[in-house]
Amino acid sequence: MPIPLKNFLVRFCVCVTILVALLVFGEGICYLDQKYTAVVEITPPPSIYQGQPWTESYRREWKETINRLQYQSYVIWRRAPFSGLTINVDNSGIRKTYYSSCDTQNYTIWIFGNSSLWGTGVPDWSTIPSLLAKKYEDAGRKVCVKNFGEKGWVSTQELIELMLSLKQAAKKPDLVIFYDGVTDSYLPYQSNVPDAHFNFLQTKNEFESLGNNGASLEYLKRTNTYRTLMELRSMLVGTGAGIDRAHLTPQQRNSMAEITYDNYLKNIRLADLLAQSYGFHCAFFWQPTLLAGHKLLAPDEIRLRQSELSDHPGGDAVVQTTYNLFENYRKEDFFDLANIFDKNTDALFVDFSHTGPAGNQIIADKMFSVLPHGN
């Protein structure tokens, strides 16, 4: 073999080896980034978690359950079954509700919502559904309360889950509650697709890449490196082509807010139609958040809000604009809780949208005071 060719091949092999090593190293780093950032750490404000006997068990079980999902028809995802000290999820993906009695023909309440309703940041017995059930029990009334909350869900998913459950359940609900706000408000900020679920584009791309085999390079999109780069792109410019999420104009914010507002009102009308047909009452609650309202923030809450503003620049303005629309919405069974903490100076939030045990208790107390209590 000629010496020049031999030298070229040696150098080529060295370059390929270095390139492969860099790719493996980069993939490893991105894998660790995906693994640990996927688990949303609940930064524990001392006033909420310090001294609680369940804190360590909850944090350990939270890390085990946050990304353990199961596919379900129409609603896309649900939590996988889990049994622990502070978190328990059944085979259908439904979290345990304490103080709930479903063994007989008791007054039945179904509650739908996002992760704030599911109970991110608190043990089973301190979720909003559990504390609401306890309010009924303390008032001398045993009720069956079922927590249909799920992380990242929006109201359309909840409405679909309601329809599926009505078709399947032997005992229909007497009261159906929707607890929404943050995820519905964020959806237009995340994606240009109207009435989609969270992470729509990511799910769409992964599904459509399943049929691309052979000489296609679609497999590269499944690498942690590609996903990390796409997340970085999303953080910088958003998922919509040509839209700078960090510097939205007032017109863009208003348009996003109106998308959420119009869609939610349509879902309210559909839920009311189901209520008329199946004979139950409906109630709709718009949740509090650190990104809206006028709460006097505790030091921990200031830190949490600033962290969210840094992670999703411009998102707070979209949420605030959306909440402003709902502040003026009037309906007998719609209750705006955005300002429920305005006179409270305690740390009630565990992040920008999830409330701790004390915050959940205030919300459950308010729900109980305005809900029908049945016969």
pLDDT of residue 50: 85
Q: How far apart are the first and last CA of the chain?
A: 95
pLDDT of residue 209: 76
Per-position pLDDT tens, the chain of length 375: 666 666 666 666 666 666 655 555 554 554 434 443 334 445 557 678 888 999 999 999 999 998 899 999 999 999 999 999 999 999 999 999 999 999 878 999 999 999 999 999 999 999 999 999 999 999 999 999 999 999 999 999 999 999 999 999 989 999 999 999 999 999 999 888 889 999 888 888 888 877 665 545 555 555 655 555 555 555 444 444 456 777 899 999 999 999 999 999 999 999 999 999 999 999 999 999 999 989 999 898 998 888 888 888 889 999 999 999 999 999 999 999 999 999 899 999 999 999 999 999 999 999 999 998 765
Encode 206-218: b = buried (16+ Cβ within 10 Å), e = exposed: eeeeeeeeeeeee
149 C-beta neighbours (distance < 10 Å), count: 24
What residue type is assigned to position 126 of the chain?
S
pLDDT of residue 312: 83
- Provide φ and ψ at 284, rounded to 5°: -125, 125
Encode 152-165: b = buried (16+ Cβ within 10 Å), e = exposed: bbbbbbbbbbbeeb
What residue type is assigned to position 351 of the chain?
D
Contacts of 339 (CB under 8 A, 6+ apart): 288, 293, 294, 295
Structure tokens at 182: 């943050």
Residue labelled with tokens 């607890």: 179
- Provide φ and ψ at 344, rounded to 5°: -110, 125
pLDDT of residue 92: 94
* Contact call for residues 322 and 259 (beta carbons, < 8 A): no
What residue type is assigned to position 171 of the chain?
K
* Contact call for residues 110 and 143 (beta carbons, < 8 A): no
For strand 76-79 and strand 69-72, is the pairing parallel, antiparallel, or unpaired?
A: antiparallel
pLDDT of residue 164: 97
For the chain, the residue count is: 375
For strand 143-147 and strand 281-286, is the pairing parallel, antiparallel, or unpaired?
A: unpaired
pLDDT of residue 32: 39
pLDDT of residue 366: 98
pLDDT of residue 3: 67
The DSSP line for 285-309 is EEPP-TTSS-----HHHHHHHHHHH
Structure tokens at 256: 């996003």
Structure tokens at 188: 């237009």
Task: Determine the Cα–Cα distance for residues 158 and 180; give it in Å rounded to an integer.
Answer: 10
Angle, alpha carbons 34-35-36 (nearest 5°): 100
pLDDT of residue 168: 94
Task: Determine the Cα–Cα distance for residues 51 and 61; give it in Å rounded to an integer.
Answer: 18
For strand 175-180 and strand 143-147, is the pairing parallel, antiparallel, or unpaired?
A: unpaired
User: Treating both helix axes as pointing N-terminal to C-terminal, what angle do 357-370 and 128-138 enclose, rounded to 10 degrees?
Assistant: 50
